[in-house]
Structure 1
Amino acid sequence: MEIIFALLSSVFASLTAILIKIGLAGINSNLATAIRTIIILIMSWIIVFYTNSIHSVNTLETIKNLSLKTIIFIVLSGFATGLSWLFYFKALQIGNVNKVVVIDKLSIVFTIILAAVFLNETLNIKIIIGVLLIAAGTLIITFQ
Protein backbone atom coordinates (compact mmCIF):
# COMPACT_ATOMS: atom_id res chain seq x y z
CA MET A 1 0.00 0.00 0.00
CA GLU A 2 2.86 2.42 0.65
CA ILE A 3 3.70 2.39 -3.07
CA ILE A 4 0.14 3.34 -3.98
CA PHE A 5 0.08 6.14 -1.40
CA ALA A 6 3.51 7.35 -2.54
CA LEU A 7 2.36 7.41 -6.17
CA LEU A 8 -0.79 9.31 -5.22
CA SER A 9 1.37 11.75 -3.26
CA SER A 10 3.54 12.22 -6.33
CA VAL A 11 0.54 12.87 -8.59
CA PHE A 12 -0.95 15.43 -6.20
CA ALA A 13 2.45 17.07 -5.69
CA SER A 14 2.73 17.54 -9.45
CA LEU A 15 -0.78 18.99 -9.56
CA THR A 16 0.21 21.33 -6.73
CA ALA A 17 3.04 22.79 -8.77
CA ILE A 18 0.88 23.39 -11.85
CA LEU A 19 -2.12 24.74 -9.93
CA ILE A 20 -0.06 27.09 -7.77
CA LYS A 21 1.94 28.42 -10.73
CA ILE A 22 -1.36 29.43 -12.33
CA GLY A 23 -2.73 30.70 -9.01
CA LEU A 24 0.32 32.83 -8.19
CA ALA A 25 -0.51 35.34 -10.91
CA GLY A 26 -1.15 38.67 -9.20
CA ILE A 27 -0.56 37.56 -5.59
CA ASN A 28 2.41 37.62 -3.25
CA SER A 29 3.85 34.12 -2.86
CA ASN A 30 3.89 34.41 0.96
CA LEU A 31 0.18 35.29 1.02
CA ALA A 32 -0.54 32.38 -1.32
CA THR A 33 1.36 30.07 1.03
CA ALA A 34 -0.67 31.32 4.00
CA ILE A 35 -3.96 30.77 2.15
CA ARG A 36 -2.87 27.28 1.10
CA THR A 37 -1.88 26.50 4.67
CA ILE A 38 -5.34 27.46 5.94
CA ILE A 39 -6.90 25.10 3.39
CA ILE A 40 -4.55 22.29 4.45
CA LEU A 41 -5.35 22.95 8.12
CA ILE A 42 -9.10 22.78 7.48
CA MET A 43 -8.72 19.68 5.32
CA SER A 44 -6.57 17.95 7.96
CA TRP A 45 -9.13 18.56 10.71
CA ILE A 46 -11.97 17.39 8.46
CA ILE A 47 -10.07 14.12 7.96
CA VAL A 48 -9.44 13.79 11.71
CA PHE A 49 -13.16 14.24 12.45
CA TYR A 50 -14.30 12.12 9.49
CA THR A 51 -12.16 9.19 10.59
CA ASN A 52 -13.39 9.73 14.17
CA SER A 53 -9.75 10.02 15.29
CA ILE A 54 -10.50 12.84 17.70
CA HIS A 55 -12.94 10.74 19.73
CA SER A 56 -10.67 7.76 20.08
CA VAL A 57 -9.56 7.23 23.66
CA ASN A 58 -6.17 6.06 22.38
CA THR A 59 -5.72 9.21 20.29
CA LEU A 60 -6.54 11.52 23.17
CA GLU A 61 -4.27 9.55 25.50
CA THR A 62 -1.49 9.57 22.92
CA ILE A 63 -1.71 13.36 22.54
CA LYS A 64 -1.86 13.81 26.30
CA ASN A 65 1.24 11.65 26.84
CA LEU A 66 3.48 13.00 24.08
CA SER A 67 7.08 13.31 25.13
CA LEU A 68 8.90 16.61 24.91
CA LYS A 69 11.20 15.08 22.27
CA THR A 70 8.21 14.11 20.10
CA ILE A 71 6.66 17.58 20.42
CA ILE A 72 9.97 19.30 19.60
CA PHE A 73 10.52 17.21 16.47
CA ILE A 74 6.92 17.64 15.25
CA VAL A 75 7.25 21.42 15.74
CA LEU A 76 10.62 21.49 13.97
CA SER A 77 9.12 19.46 11.13
CA GLY A 78 6.33 22.02 10.89
CA PHE A 79 8.85 24.85 10.64
CA ALA A 80 10.81 22.97 7.98
CA THR A 81 7.61 22.36 6.01
CA GLY A 82 6.60 26.01 6.28
CA LEU A 83 9.99 27.24 5.10
CA SER A 84 9.98 24.69 2.28
CA TRP A 85 6.59 25.90 1.09
CA LEU A 86 7.57 29.60 1.31
CA PHE A 87 10.71 29.05 -0.76
CA TYR A 88 8.93 26.70 -3.18
CA PHE A 89 6.11 29.16 -3.86
CA LYS A 90 8.56 32.03 -4.35
CA ALA A 91 10.64 29.93 -6.74
CA LEU A 92 7.52 28.93 -8.69
CA GLN A 93 6.38 32.53 -8.84
CA ILE A 94 9.60 33.76 -10.41
CA GLY A 95 10.80 30.66 -12.28
CA ASN A 96 9.77 27.96 -14.70
CA VAL A 97 7.87 25.03 -13.24
CA ASN A 98 10.03 22.46 -15.06
CA LYS A 99 13.20 23.75 -13.39
CA VAL A 100 11.81 24.59 -9.96
CA VAL A 101 10.12 21.21 -9.51
CA VAL A 102 13.22 19.31 -10.56
CA ILE A 103 15.44 21.27 -8.18
CA ASP A 104 12.86 20.81 -5.42
CA LYS A 105 13.05 17.05 -5.95
CA LEU A 106 16.72 17.19 -4.98
CA SER A 107 15.11 16.80 -1.57
CA ILE A 108 15.26 13.08 -2.40
CA VAL A 109 19.07 13.26 -2.49
CA PHE A 110 19.25 15.35 0.69
CA THR A 111 16.78 13.06 2.48
CA ILE A 112 18.72 9.90 1.63
CA ILE A 113 21.97 11.46 2.82
CA LEU A 114 20.41 12.83 6.02
CA ALA A 115 18.70 9.48 6.69
CA ALA A 116 22.08 7.78 6.47
CA VAL A 117 23.71 10.32 8.79
CA PHE A 118 20.97 10.79 11.41
CA LEU A 119 18.89 7.60 11.18
CA ASN A 120 21.73 5.19 10.38
CA GLU A 121 19.92 3.96 7.26
CA THR A 122 22.21 1.96 5.02
CA LEU A 123 23.49 3.17 1.68
CA ASN A 124 24.13 0.38 -0.78
CA ILE A 125 25.51 0.68 -4.30
CA LYS A 126 22.03 0.84 -5.87
CA ILE A 127 21.02 3.74 -3.63
CA ILE A 128 24.27 5.59 -4.28
CA ILE A 129 23.91 5.15 -8.05
CA GLY A 130 20.29 6.30 -7.84
CA VAL A 131 21.26 9.39 -5.86
CA LEU A 132 23.99 10.23 -8.38
CA LEU A 133 21.55 9.78 -11.29
CA ILE A 134 18.96 12.02 -9.64
CA ALA A 135 21.62 14.68 -9.03
CA ALA A 136 22.90 14.37 -12.61
CA GLY A 137 19.37 14.56 -14.01
CA THR A 138 18.71 17.67 -11.95
CA LEU A 139 21.85 19.32 -13.32
CA ILE A 140 20.97 18.38 -16.91
CA ILE A 141 17.43 19.77 -16.69
CA THR A 142 18.34 22.85 -14.68
CA PHE A 143 21.28 24.01 -16.78
CA GLN A 144 20.04 23.15 -20.28
Structure 2
Amino acid sequence: MKVLVATGRTQGTRENDYHHAVEGELVRIDPPCRKDRDDPDGRCGCGRGFAGMNSQRATTTARVAEVPLTRDEYAEALRSSLEHDGYEPCTCRSTDEADALAELAATWPVGAVIERRLDQLARRVSPEEEVPA
Protein backbone atom coordinates (compact mmCIF):
# COMPACT_ATOMS: atom_id res chain seq x y z
CA MET A 1 0.00 0.00 0.00
CA LYS A 2 1.10 3.59 -0.63
CA VAL A 3 1.84 5.58 2.52
CA LEU A 4 3.84 8.59 3.68
CA VAL A 5 7.19 7.96 5.35
CA ALA A 6 9.78 10.30 6.85
CA THR A 7 12.53 11.49 4.55
CA GLY A 8 15.45 13.88 4.63
CA ARG A 9 15.26 14.38 0.85
CA THR A 10 14.87 18.04 -0.18
CA GLN A 11 15.61 19.22 3.37
CA GLY A 12 16.87 22.79 3.25
CA THR A 13 14.49 23.85 0.50
CA ARG A 14 12.85 26.00 3.15
CA GLU A 15 14.98 27.80 5.71
CA ASN A 16 12.98 26.34 8.60
CA ASP A 17 13.05 22.68 7.49
CA TYR A 18 13.85 20.06 10.10
CA HIS A 19 14.28 16.30 10.09
CA HIS A 20 14.32 14.54 13.47
CA ALA A 21 12.27 11.48 12.51
CA VAL A 22 13.78 8.15 11.51
CA GLU A 23 14.34 7.88 7.77
CA GLY A 24 11.62 5.69 6.24
CA GLU A 25 9.35 5.44 9.29
CA LEU A 26 5.60 5.83 8.85
CA VAL A 27 4.35 9.35 9.56
CA ARG A 28 1.03 10.84 10.54
CA ILE A 29 -0.34 14.39 10.39
CA ASP A 30 -1.23 15.88 13.75
CA PRO A 31 -3.29 19.05 14.20
CA PRO A 32 -1.14 22.11 14.86
CA CYS A 33 -0.88 23.58 18.34
CA ARG A 34 -2.30 26.98 19.26
CA LYS A 35 1.00 28.69 18.45
CA ASP A 36 1.09 27.35 14.89
CA ARG A 37 -2.55 26.86 13.94
CA ASP A 38 -2.57 30.03 11.80
CA ASP A 39 1.08 30.06 10.73
CA PRO A 40 2.93 27.12 9.17
CA ASP A 41 6.17 28.98 9.86
CA GLY A 42 5.41 29.36 13.57
CA ARG A 43 8.09 28.71 16.18
CA CYS A 44 6.76 25.30 17.21
CA GLY A 45 6.98 23.87 13.71
CA CYS A 46 4.05 21.49 14.08
CA GLY A 47 2.06 23.32 11.40
CA ARG A 48 4.59 22.17 8.81
CA GLY A 49 5.61 18.80 10.24
CA PHE A 50 4.80 15.13 9.92
CA ALA A 51 5.00 13.07 13.13
CA GLY A 52 7.00 9.85 13.07
CA MET A 53 4.72 7.03 14.24
CA ASN A 54 7.50 5.11 15.96
CA SER A 55 10.08 7.68 17.04
CA GLN A 56 7.53 10.38 17.96
CA ARG A 57 9.96 12.78 16.27
CA ALA A 58 8.98 15.02 13.37
CA THR A 59 10.11 16.06 9.92
CA THR A 60 9.01 18.68 7.42
CA THR A 61 9.31 16.27 4.50
CA ALA A 62 7.57 12.98 3.80
CA ARG A 63 8.06 10.61 0.88
CA VAL A 64 5.42 8.49 -0.80
CA ALA A 65 6.43 4.84 -0.42
CA GLU A 66 4.97 1.46 -1.27
CA VAL A 67 5.12 -0.69 1.87
CA PRO A 68 4.11 -4.31 2.51
CA LEU A 69 1.29 -3.52 4.96
CA THR A 70 -2.38 -4.31 4.83
CA ARG A 71 -4.92 -1.60 5.59
CA ASP A 72 -5.56 -3.21 8.98
CA GLU A 73 -1.85 -3.35 9.83
CA TYR A 74 -1.45 0.28 8.82
CA ALA A 75 -4.44 1.31 10.96
CA GLU A 76 -2.98 -0.64 13.91
CA ALA A 77 0.38 1.12 13.51
CA LEU A 78 -1.43 4.45 13.63
CA ARG A 79 -3.59 3.42 16.59
CA SER A 80 -0.53 2.26 18.53
CA SER A 81 1.31 5.51 17.75
CA LEU A 82 -1.62 7.65 18.90
CA GLU A 83 -1.99 5.61 22.08
CA HIS A 84 1.73 5.95 22.81
CA ASP A 85 1.37 9.73 22.49
CA GLY A 86 -1.44 9.79 25.03
CA TYR A 87 -4.46 9.98 22.76
CA GLU A 88 -7.48 7.96 23.83
CA PRO A 89 -7.20 4.65 21.97
CA CYS A 90 -9.94 4.38 19.38
CA THR A 91 -9.88 1.84 16.60
CA CYS A 92 -12.47 3.76 14.56
CA ARG A 93 -10.42 6.97 14.71
CA SER A 94 -7.20 5.26 13.67
CA THR A 95 -8.97 3.41 10.84
CA ASP A 96 -10.47 6.65 9.52
CA GLU A 97 -7.14 8.47 9.79
CA ALA A 98 -5.27 5.59 8.17
CA ASP A 99 -7.74 5.62 5.27
CA ALA A 100 -7.37 9.40 4.92
CA LEU A 101 -3.55 9.19 4.95
CA ALA A 102 -3.60 6.37 2.39
CA GLU A 103 -5.91 8.43 0.16
CA LEU A 104 -3.49 11.36 0.39
CA ALA A 105 -0.51 9.17 -0.47
CA ALA A 106 -2.38 7.67 -3.42
CA THR A 107 -2.54 11.08 -5.14
CA TRP A 108 1.24 11.16 -5.78
CA PRO A 109 3.69 8.76 -7.40
CA VAL A 110 5.96 6.57 -5.29
CA GLY A 111 9.11 8.54 -4.44
CA ALA A 112 7.43 11.95 -4.47
CA VAL A 113 8.53 14.20 -1.60
CA ILE A 114 5.68 16.03 0.12
CA GLU A 115 5.68 19.11 2.35
CA ARG A 116 2.99 20.36 4.69
CA ARG A 117 1.74 23.90 5.20
CA LEU A 118 -1.03 23.56 7.83
CA ASP A 119 -3.88 21.75 6.02
CA GLN A 120 -2.23 21.92 2.60
CA LEU A 121 0.11 19.28 1.26
CA ALA A 122 2.20 19.89 -1.85
CA ARG A 123 4.82 18.02 -3.78
CA ARG A 124 8.35 19.33 -3.57
CA VAL A 125 10.45 19.08 -6.68
CA SER A 126 13.85 17.65 -5.91
CA PRO A 127 16.92 19.13 -7.67
CA GLU A 128 17.22 16.06 -9.93
CA GLU A 129 13.63 16.62 -11.16
CA GLU A 130 14.04 20.31 -12.01
CA VAL A 131 13.74 21.14 -15.68
CA PRO A 132 16.15 23.80 -16.96
CA ALA A 133 14.45 26.96 -18.28
User: What TM-score comes out, normalization by structure 2 length?
Assistant: 0.27
Larger Rg: 1
Which structure: greater strand fraction? 2
